[in-house]
Amino acid sequence: MNISVVQLIYLGKKYLSLWPDKPELTHYFEDYRGVQSARFVCRYFPALAMFTVVMQLYVASGYPLGQGSISNAINALPQALVYGLFLLSLPVQALVFSGVKADKLLPPSLASWYHSGVEKVKQQFIEQGKHSNGHRNDNAIAKLTTYKPRYIDLAQLLQLTYARTE
């Protein structure tokens, strides 16, 4: 689909939040490592960018050596900002790439597995009957029934499956 960059970022954020944090998924889905890496980058790189800028300005100022001046720090400001902006761009890139991945159609083999998984979830839902949050699960299962599933649909199926087992 043709969607804007901002929509891709929001889709990537949703995709990362939907994937269950279960290490056993590594054996079945190659995307799990990418999701974990993107989560790591989004969580820690903004702080790393700030630390990098502050430390570069501090070291460039000369204060650690006892010869500090504010003009030295101001001279080092452009270089520090470039490094900081680069590190800040990495979480945005991770969200964009996750959004692109979330919007891709599943390959045929994974799509057939997806459809059989949706059918199993429907059967379990019918067998167990409606519980206290049945209406919400019924809506979630209805949303999963798509003809051409995408990776975000797979993440929703996995999230629903693991939410039901816990």
Q: Using CA atoms, how far apart are residues 153 and 58, in angstroms rounded to an integer?
A: 47
Domain end point (choices 68, 88, 103): 103
Looking at 61, 81, 103, the residue that finishes a domain is: 103
Q: How many residues does the chain have?
A: 166
Give the pLDDT band (50/70/90) at residue 137.
low
Q: Is the pLDDT of residue 129 over 90?
A: no
User: Do 6 and 46 share a domain, yes or no?
Assistant: yes
pLDDT digits 0-9 by tens, 39-76 = 999 999 999 999 999 999 999 988 777 787 888 889 99
Q: Does residue 115 surpass a pLDDT of 70?
A: yes
Global confidence as pTM: 0.82
Is residue 19 located within the same domain as residue 96?
A: yes
Say if residue 112 is in the same domain as residue 93: no
- Together in a domain, 82 and 7: yes
| Structural domain of 68 | 1-103
Q: Rounded to whole angstroms, how far apart are CA atoms 27 and 43?
A: 24
Number of domains in the chain: 2
Q: Is 60 exceeded by the pLDDT of residue 131? A: no
**Neighbouring residues of 166: CB distance < 8 A, sequence distance ≥ 6:** none
**Based on the domain organization, do 27 and 62 belong to the same domain?**
yes
* Of the residues 103, 120, 143, the one at which a domain ends: 103
Binning pLDDT at 50, 70 and 90, where does residue 166 land?
A: low
Residues 55 and 65 in one domain: yes
Same domain, 119 and 58: no
Check whether 147 has a pLDDT greater than 90: no
Same domain, 143 and 84: no
pLDDT in the model for residue 11? 96
Q: What mean pLDDT comes out for the span 126-142?
A: 62
Cα–Cα distance for residue pair 157/166, rounded to 1 Å:
15
Cβ–Cβ < 8 Å for 92, 9 = yes
Q: What is the share, in percent, of the chain residues with pLDDT greater than 90?
A: 51
- Whether 92 and 110 map to the same domain: the answer is no
Same domain for 57 and 12, yes or no, is yes
Position 124 scores a pLDDT of 79
Could you give the angle at the alpha carbon of 6 between the alpha carbons of 162 and 141, nearest 5°?
Answer: 25
Q: Same domain for 17 and 90?
A: yes
Angle, to 10 degrees, between the axis of helix 151-165 and the axis of helix 108-128?
30
Q: Are residues 7 and 80 in the same domain?
A: yes
